[in-house]
Structure 1
Amino acid sequence: MTIRVLIVEDDIRVANLHAEFVRRVPGFRVVGMAHTAAKARTLLDEVRPDLVLLDNYLPGESGLLFLRDTTVDVIMLTAVSDVPTVRAAFAAGALNYLVKPFDAEDLAERLHAYARYHAQLSSSDRTATQADIDRAVRLLHERDRKETPKGRSSATARLVAEELREHRNPASAAEIAAKLGIARATAQRYLTGLAQDGRATMTLRYGTTGRPEHEYQWID
């Protein structure tokens, strides 16, 4: 069974990148892309997706408003990571939440988990038992985190964690990278991992140039 995916993302380049990530995952097919919530609503009827990959930054209407109005399965893909927004997304029905930036493997893990969840609850001609429901929930999230992420060094992870812990104020990936002499993208990956593990908080720093930047602070 092929899972039909609609990508809702305001940035055309990012939308195309996410579409490429999806195409690498067997069993998934991109059936449409929308850059506004209004267009997404139209495509819901036209392409009838099984799953929507939804950004929160959309022209004219936030992704959260769109999420509240749809019954289609949704995974949020967004740079917004403040706790109220994350909680609101899950309360509105999001099945998962992936914070940008992420790589193809990060998204593939969520898609594989969704495929297992979808298969568990795909039959509409029977009543789900409590065991069915419990298993579906476990399948949806059980592989969101890896013990040893591929391509990541435990030594580098330790250095990033120590630098962030010693940094009294919230720090950006660029600041941590400059301190350690590593690439910003590398620092970003490890800092995001610390936030996902609950060892650091991740918020947005609003500046004067373009989109907001993530900043991180160690949790004592």
Structure 2
Amino acid sequence: MRRLLLSVHDVGPRFEPEIDLLLDRLSAHVELHAMAMLVVPDHWGLHPLVAGSRFASRLRSWTESGVSMFVHGWFHQDRAVHTHAMTRLKARHMTAGEGEFLGLDSATAMRRMTEGRDLIEQITGRPVAGFVAPAWLYGAPAIEALGACGFALAEDHLKVWHPPSRRVLARGPVITWASRSPMRIASSLMAAQLLLSLSRYAPVARVAVHPGDAHVPALLASIDQVLRRLGRTHRPVRYGDLLAD
């Protein structure tokens, strides 16, 4: 049977209520042990993940329930000055100032990756599953740092891969939604319908939800529809299962 990967992005104390709402919704379609969480160590430098805190305890509990934990940047905020025209275009139009790893040099990228991994592993007591850059945006130095850090898994908008070898494990666009404005909500709803039609025939389908989705009924309804229909053709699995192929 085809496989389904489901991830919850931007996990951290900043969005704890939204994460709870999303988990309640998602659990009707996918069991907790088959989900992935993308954890932000210090969202925008204002909401640090602190070892020993109540949220850290919840993170450990989710891990013990089988959730796959990914490092999801450090700040989830783009603080780089972009000099290349294409990079500036991506930073401006593909995310709301959150493409943290798009303009970082290799040393800075590696430091944030390893510090994020160390923190999350200290809290959960288990190895992280991999690394995913905020907004799925990577500069070339960040790609190099990924391989050097030895993360087993990474993904962008179009694929999942094994960074040390650069081997692609799954191809195809991720189905996700945007909640920042009415126009983005409408366009993401249309995109979800189109991608659902394509993903029904893909060996691996990916679905990603964000905290902002929890406050938009139309997005929640679309998420339900996508997971319900993919559930007929795809079996929910863990990201790590791709490594067994």
TM surpasses 0.5: no
Structure whose CA Rg is larger: 1
| Relative contact order higher in (CA < 8 Å, ≥ 6 apart) | 2
Q: So what's the TM-score if we normalise by structure 1?
A: 0.31
Q: So what's the TM-score if we normalise by structure 2?
A: 0.29
